[in-house]
Amino acid sequence: MLERPLQTSSTTLSTRLDAVIDGAIAAERIVGAVVLVRRNGQPIYTRAAGLADRETGSPMREDAQFRLASVSKLFVAAAAMALVEQGKLDLDRPIAEWLPHFEPRFGGEPAAISLRHLLTHTSGLGYGFLEPDDGPLHRAGVSDGMDRTGITLAENLSRLAGAPLLFRPGTRFCYSLALDVAGALIEAATGLALPQAVQMLVTEPLGLNDTGFSVADPTRLAAAYADDTPRPRRMREPDLVPFLPDLPGLRMDPSRAFDEQAFPSGGAGMTGSASDTMELLEALRSGGGPLMPPEHAAEMARDQIAGLDIEGSPGWGYGLGFSILRDATAAGVTESPGAWRWGGAYGHSWFVDPIRGLTLVAFTNTALEGMSNGGRFSADLSRALYAAIGP
């Protein structure tokens, strides 16, 4: 595929993106942010802005670390695909071959879930924050991976398996704890704890030192804030952050990042930097780098759920670990069809536009405003970037 040359001056690009970032900070919609953009692999914008910690007045820095929330899914999906390449996992064989004690049921019968089902959120599993307080996952005491419960990964999955599946695997899309199950699958396939497996399969081959299941440098970890009026409030420990109307919200505990006993949640439990996430996205965009061959990277970026819709997200499909843009008009976004996008509840968003050769990573310390679909910030950045680049 031919990559288009950049058609705008760096001054215009910086002016437009600076205006979005400075406007969000001035309006007190976010506290701080790190925003990185690359075009055809070359950095064209890098900025740290605002405050990492408002109460101490500490400025945001480019190498700040963040609680990744669902950005963790990108790293765990890449680790799983690296194991597929090595022949230690298979996308379509039942995961019961590796996890014989994980036996969720649908209609009273055991359900055959595959790794592909897990990575595309078509397994029939759910998330506690997407159900009412009396829902089955809450009744079973299942953790969504951002609170502190004192249970192990094995215990959480045992509780999850005891709740009935929402649908037969492969028949619907539902955002879920599937990447936590994929994390256990990675452990079973490698014989390693998930933090060590992700390090071996992803971060070490890419030379990434800031991302993992423990904080690499606590002095660089940005404080966590939640949307509020007249300005974001510092998150409590623990906290309940509103997410969808008529649902209880996200159970989050920023102190989990320092808890060495917290189970490694493959869907939400990592910390890391914006630059590390950029390196992983660029490795996948350019064909897999040292992690996997081009055909596996391309499979991750292929819409896997043709014929299925993502409720509340028109115009989007889903690949192996992130969403894939089907229709920009229906989705109301500026990226090209085939672009990849996801983010994290602590206030992060990223996207890759392979046609335009663009990769953008925007990490904030403000939930949910900084998250993809969480507020204006992510969409405003995207519009400003494409306005600067032109058709």
Fold match between domain 10-66+212-233+254-389 and domain 76-203 = yes
Task: Please give the share of the chain, as a percent, with pLDDT higher than 90.
Answer: 92
pLDDT for 370 equals 96
Residue 390 vs residue 356, higher pLDDT: 356
Q: What is the pLDDT of residues 126-142, one digit of tens each?
A: 999 999 999 999 999 99
pLDDT for 255 equals 97
Superfamily of structural domain 10-66+212-233+254-389: DD-peptidase/beta-lactamase superfamily (3.40.710.10)
Contacts of 374 (CB under 8 A, 6+ apart): 343, 345, 347, 349, 367, 368
Question: What whole-number distance in Å separates Cα of residue 160 and Cα of residue 188?
Answer: 18
pLDDT at 373 > cutoff 90? no
For residue 208, give the nearest of 282, 118, 151 by alpha carbon: 282
For residue 265, give the nearest of 66, 73, 126 by alpha carbon: 73
With residue 234 as reference, give the H or E element that holds it: strand 233-234
Give the residue extent of every domain in the chain: 10-66+212-233+254-389, 76-203
CA of 78: how far to CAs of 147, 170, 182, 199, in Å? 24, 21, 11, 11
**Catalytic: which of 14, 70, 265, 313?**
70
Q: What is the pLDDT of residues 216-261, one digit of tens each?
A: 899 999 999 999 999 999 999 999 999 998 899 999 999 999 999 9
* pTM of the predicted protein model: 0.96
pLDDT for 3 equals 42
Q: Is 70 an annotated catalytic residue?
A: yes
CA of 263: how far to CAs of 34, 185, 193, 338, in Å? 28, 14, 10, 34
pLDDT for 8 equals 53
Confidence of residue 2 (pLDDT cuts 50, 70, 90): very low
Confidence of residue 9 (pLDDT cuts 50, 70, 90): low
CATH number belonging to domain 76-203 = 3.40.710.10
How many other C-beta atoms can be found within 10 angstroms of the C-beta atom of residue 88? 17
The overall average pLDDT reported for the chain is 95
DSSP character for 272? E
Q: Helix, strand or coil for residue 223?
A: coil
Q: Are 372 and 364 in contact (CB under 8 A)?
A: no
Question: What whole-number distance in Å separates Cα of residue 375 and Cα of residue 325?
Answer: 19
pLDDT for 6 equals 44
pLDDT for 374 equals 83
Q: Are 241 and 367 in contact (CB under 8 A)?
A: yes
Tokens of 47: 């900025």
